[in-house]
Structures are given as C-alpha cells and as structure tokens.
Amino acid sequence: MAWFKRNAQGIISQKKKDIPDLWLKCPGCNEIIYKLELERNANVCAQCGHHFRISADGYVKLLLDEGTAEEFHEEITSVDFLKFRAKKKYSDQIKAAIKTTGRKSALLSTRGKMNRRPVVLCVMDFSFIGGSMGSVVGEKISLAIDIAIKEKSPFILISASGGARMMEGAVSLMQMAKTSAKLALLAKAGLPFVSILTDPTTGGVTASYAMLGDVNIAEPGALIGFAGPRVIKQTIGEDLPDGFQRSEFLLKHGFIDAIFSRKNMKEEIGKMLNVFCKDVIDPVIGNGILDTEKKNTAEISPAVEIEEEAKN
Ligand SMILES: [Zn+2]
C-alpha cells in the first residue's frame, strides 16, 4: 500500500486505517493499559490505583444490584431562558450535549436496590456540559429527594461537576439554596444522605449538596474544591502545598469523612447504611426471589443488632 498518493492538488497522505484504540496510558503511573482490562477493574488502574472517569451509567451498574435500577425524570431538559450566548449559543450547547451523551440533562436519577436495600441514587454526568448544575440538575435532585422521603429510602448522590451553570445566571446559583433546603427535609424525615465526591467536584456543587452529606466520601485522587488551584494561586500569590484540593489532602484536614476505592464503594456504603437505617431488608432466597413468609426472620436490622450487642 502506498503511503502517499498524488492528486490534482499535490501529494496527500493516505487516511489512517480505522484501528480501534485499545490501549491507553495511565496518567498516574505512565503504564500502558489494555482498555478492556481497565473496564473489568471498574476503570481503576491495577498498577497505581488511578481512578479514571466513568459514565453515570457505569456508577449505576457498579452500585445497584443487577436488574433493579429504574431511572426516572429522564425527560426533563434545560431551556435557554436567558438566550445566553458566549463563544457558542447555550441552546446549541444543550443540543450538542444531548446528542453526544444520549441524555437530556447532566443528572441521572434512579431508584434501585443496593445490597437488597431500596435506595434513591442520583449521578452527575461530567460529559454533559461539564456536569454543571443548572435549573434542571437542581430540580431533578429536589424531586429525587421528594421520592426518597416518600419511599423512606436513603439518598445517595455522586457528584462530578465544574460547578454552577453560568449560562443560566442567578437561577443556577439558586439551586444551591433549593437543594440544601430539600436535604434539610430529608434529614428531618430521619433518612441518611451519602454524598460521594468524584473527580472533579468544584464550585457551587461543592458549596452546596456535595458537602452536606451525613457522610461525605471521596474517590482517591479526586479534585475537590470551590475555586480552582490556578485562581487561588493567582489570588494569594503563593505556591500551594503538594496535593492541594485532592481527596487525601481534604481527608487529612477534616473536610471529608472517608476515601473509598471505587471497587469497594458499594460494600462500604452498604455497611454504612446498615448502621444508619433501622428498616427491614427483604430477605432473598436462592435465585433472588423475595420470600415474604420468611420476612419476620429479618425483622432485626443490623443497627438494632449492634444496640443489642452493646447492651450485652
Ligand atoms: Zn496507573
């Protein structure tokens, strides 16, 4: 095969053959990783533990029991009410994001079961306009909390966001107050909120619901902060310490409660919910069919068991 061919305009290179991109370089350890191998490992580098970003659907698969996820409010989508235009028209950005992600907003809301316990799970999608929080993300979180309260389910939210969606002006900032107020109602109902912070969680999202969890958990190495490190460095005119605004730095300084590898996330959150919730988990026999007759045998929840043990 010739590498070059001549046409009327001159010499042009042949098009590269469509070779599937099967390998990638890990930014953590510079190892070349086989993509399928990485996917099998929850997109965590087996050498150094670097957490690659995964899709919102990826988190649903990882955290909820197979076949239990049921998405809701997926039809709600943004409206360009300010007719905002910067480099691009906001309305065009919305259309492009819908086309590339196949979703109508930057938030996936779903209910399902985690280790057989019903939960309401929301996952932000960073690939949808940087996971920015606008009126739709705020409204969907608010509606998901309503469902959690109604169904008496714990609420879990996975953040991945560049912050508030400035194309919606002050309305995007109002979502901070709105979601925070709704979370107060969840707390009043005695239901736990587990906030999971992934890379990156910044701006108005960090300044509102992402940091309001009964437990705030981060993935390793995630960038978590309000303003970005470059802006802070320029403002204070000083070099920032190593690892500034990364999960490990935040844990050391008391801003988050724990760091869990994505691979253990379901198990660890499951343990926490066992302590927080005094509900009954439906017992399951063999092939996963609910055995309602045996329900009484599981009436003592793990939280009650812990209390019983303490008394003894
Ligand atoms: Zn690595």
Distance 34 CA to ligand 1 centre (A): 12
Helix intervals (H) in 237-291: 247-252, 265-276
Q: Give yes or no for a contact between 217 and 269, defined as CB atoms under 8 angstroms apart.
A: yes
- pLDDT value at 303 more than 80: no
Distance 25 CA to ligand 1 centre (A): 8
Q: What's the pTM?
A: 0.84
Domain that includes residue 34, residue range: 1-52
Q: Give yes or no for a contact between 127 and 167, defined as CB atoms under 8 angstroms apart.
A: no
189 and 285 co-located in one domain:
no
Distance 191 CA to ligand 1 centre (A): 38
Distance 101 CA to ligand 1 centre (A): 27
Distance 184 CA to ligand 1 centre (A): 40
250 and 294 co-located in one domain:
no
Q: Give yes or no for a contact between 107 and 143, defined as CB atoms under 8 angstroms apart.
A: no
Band (pLDDT 50/70/90 cuts) for residue 305 is: very low
CA–CA separation, 131 and 137 (whole Å):
9
17 and 130 co-located in one domain:
no
- pLDDT value at 283 more than 70: no
pLDDT at 105: 98
145 and 285 co-located in one domain:
no
Peptide bond before residue 200 is cis, with ω within 30 degrees of 0: yes
305 and 269 co-located in one domain:
no
Mean pLDDT of all residues belonging to the chain: 88
> Cα dihedral sign for 194, 197, 198, 204?
positive
Q: What is the residue whose two structure tokens read 């930014």? A: 27
- pLDDT value at 6 more than 80: no
CA–CA separation, 33 and 38 (whole Å):
7
pLDDT at 278: 75
295 and 220 co-located in one domain:
no
What is the CB neighbour count within 10 angstroms for residue 88? Answer: 11
Domain count within the chain: 3
pLDDT at 239: 93
Taking each helix axis as running N to C, give the angle between helix 265-276 and helix 56-63, from 0 to 180 degrees, rounded to the nearest 10: 60
26 and 173 co-located in one domain:
no
91 and 7 co-located in one domain:
no
Band (pLDDT 50/70/90 cuts) for residue 289 is: very low
Residues with CB under 5 A from ligand 1 (ion): 26, 28-29, 45, 47-48, 50
38 and 94 co-located in one domain:
no
30 and 18 co-located in one domain:
yes
CA–CA separation, 43 and 41 (whole Å):
5
Two tokens at 212? Answer: 């309001």
Q: What is the mean pLDDT of residues 65-92?
A: 97
For the chain, percent of residues with pLDDT exceeding 90? 81
Q: What is the pLDDT of residues 217-276, one digit of tens each?
A: 999 999 999 998 889 999 999 999 999 999 999 999 999 999 999 999 999 999 999 999
Distance 28 CA to ligand 1 centre (A): 4
Q: What is the pLDDT of residues 136-191, one digit of tens each?
A: 999 999 999 999 999 999 999 999 999 999 999 999 999 999 999 999 999 999 99
303 and 252 co-located in one domain:
no
Distance 47 CA to ligand 1 centre (A): 5
- pLDDT value at 197 more than 60: yes
67 and 140 co-located in one domain:
yes
